[in-house]
Every structure is written in C-alpha cells, then in structure tokens.
Structure 1
Amino acid sequence: MTFETAISRDIVSAESPDRPIRRMLRRIRVWLEQHPRLRHAYRVAVGTLGTVIALLGLVLVPLPGPGWLIVFLGLAILGTEFRWARRLSGWLKRMLSRFWAWQKSRRAARA
C-alpha cells in the first residue's frame, strides 16, 4: 500500500459521519438551532478559537514540531461551523499529500 493511499484511506475514515464526535456535534447543532442567540455566540466562539489555533500553528510551521498539525486542528475547529474552512482544509490536505509524494520521489531519485 502506498503512502498516498494510506493517507487517503485514513482521511476518509476520519471524516465518516457516524463517528461519535460527529454525532455529538450534530446533537449540539440541533440544540443550538432552537436558541438563535446562543447559536450566534457559539459561532463567534468557534471562529475565534479556530482562528487563534490556526494562526498559532502557522507561527510554529517553520519550527521543529507539530506546526502543520496545529494548523489542521484550527481549520477542523473552524470547519465545524464554516464551509470555507472545510474547503480550505481539504485543499491543504491534498497539497500536503502531493508535497510529501513529490518529496518522496525526489529522495528516491537521488538515492
């Protein structure tokens, strides 16, 4: 099994709608739809938290450590409420997968 196939399979299984966290988030969303004021506050809180975490991850990217992981975590948080963040997260996952495949082929060509 290739590296790209394994990543694609893991991404698909993690984004399955029957995962416990996704079920919990759906229940919260249904409850929030019944309380419009809380829904607005929730969106503001999710937007703020996700943005802070994603920006922190971007600051950490050049340093050794989990910079990209933190960026994806921030985008995942934003993606629970904002469609643009879900699309951006998917695009970044594809670009990062392509980069790793390119890097792997480059190393193999050098060896």
Structure 2
Amino acid sequence: MNAESDGRDGVVAATTAAPATGDVNGEERELGSRAPQYIQARRTLHLSWQVGVFVVGLAVVIAGIIMLPLPGPGWLVIFGGMAIWATEFVWAQLVLRWTKRKVTEAAQRALDPKVRRRNIILTTIGLVIVAVLVGIYVWKFGIVMPWKIDE
C-alpha cells in the first residue's frame, strides 16, 4: 500500500504545519542568506560579506568556549555566535532550529508536575545530605576562623 492510497495526506500535512521552534507567527523563516539584496547581487561583495560574518561568528564562539571554564555566560555567547552564523549560513540555521526545538522540549518536560516534584524531592534529599555532612565535620573538627579573634 502506498502513501497516496492510504488517506494519510491530511494527517501528515497537519503534523508538519506547526513547527516547535517558538516563532511568533508559528512559521519558520526561509533558509539562506539574510544579507541585503544589493550585497547578494554582487558575488565578490557577497563572498566577502560571508567571510566577515564567519570571522565575527568564529570570534564570538571562541570567546564563548573560553568562557566555559572561566566566569562568564559561555553557552549563551556560543549560541550568540551560532545566531551570527545563522544570518548567513544554512547549516547554522539548521543547528539553531534543532537547538531551539530541543530547548523548548526540555522546558516543557521540566514544567511537567511529576518531573518538578521529583526534582524538588531530589534537591531536598541532596541538601539534607550536605547539611548532615557539614554538621559531622563541624562536630568532629570544630569551626576554625581564618582570622584571630582573641587579640
């Protein structure tokens, strides 16, 4: 049985009509360059535009990678670099769409009452364990201040 004769065309069209990327209008943007039209019309200008976008995006992504072990919003900066690349390159647009979809799905899962209850219970158990361990440490070794109070 082929897809034309089983009557599922309406179902397939209905499932692909609403993307899960969180766009305001419920529509995904077209893939491709978002450079101004006069730049796209001239090949050498468009190529130099792409090189400039790539270099700026690369600098932002490298800064984000450097910020991962250091203080700073590393992942946010990396996604910002990907967004810069997505203004010009289709592969970056596809990666950004996939990332948005996964973040949206994770946020919806995290708001599930069962998952929230489980996370609250696990956090409470973790805090109780840490409090007990700190209490045992203080009972066994006492609190030693880093400065001299007696003087």
* C-alpha RMSD of matched pairs (Å): 3.4
* Match status 1:88 vs 2:95: yes
SS at match of 2:36: helix
One-letter amino acid matched to 2:89? F
Work out the number of aligned pairs and report it.
Answer: 96
Partner of 1:49: 56
**TM-score, length basis structure 1:** 0.63
CA offsets 1:21-76 (integer angstroms, 9 cap, x no match)? xxxx95x4211122211101000110111112112212212333211111111001
Q: 1:78 to 1:12 in 2, by over 3 A?
A: same
1:100 and 1:64 map into 2 onto residues whose CA distance is: 25
1:72 and 1:33 map into 2 onto residues whose CA distance is: 25
* Match status 1:59 vs 2:71: no
The percentage of counterpart residues that share the same residue type is 28
Greater helix content: 1
**TM-score, length basis structure 2:** 0.49
Partner of 1:39: 46
Q: 1:41 to 1:91 in 2, by over 3 A?
A: same
Tell me which of 11, 14, 23 is aligned to 1:12. Answer: 23
1:99 and 1:75 map into 2 onto residues whose CA distance is: 20
SS at match of 1:76: helix
Partner of 2:119: 107
Q: 1:33 to 1:16 in 2, by over 3 A?
A: same
* Match status 1:76 vs 2:87: no
One-letter amino acid matched to 2:120? A
One-letter amino acid matched to 1:52? A
1:37 and 1:98 map into 2 onto residues whose CA distance is: 41
SS at match of 1:39: helix
User: Which residues of structure 2 form unaligned runs of 5+?
Assistant: 1-19, 125-151
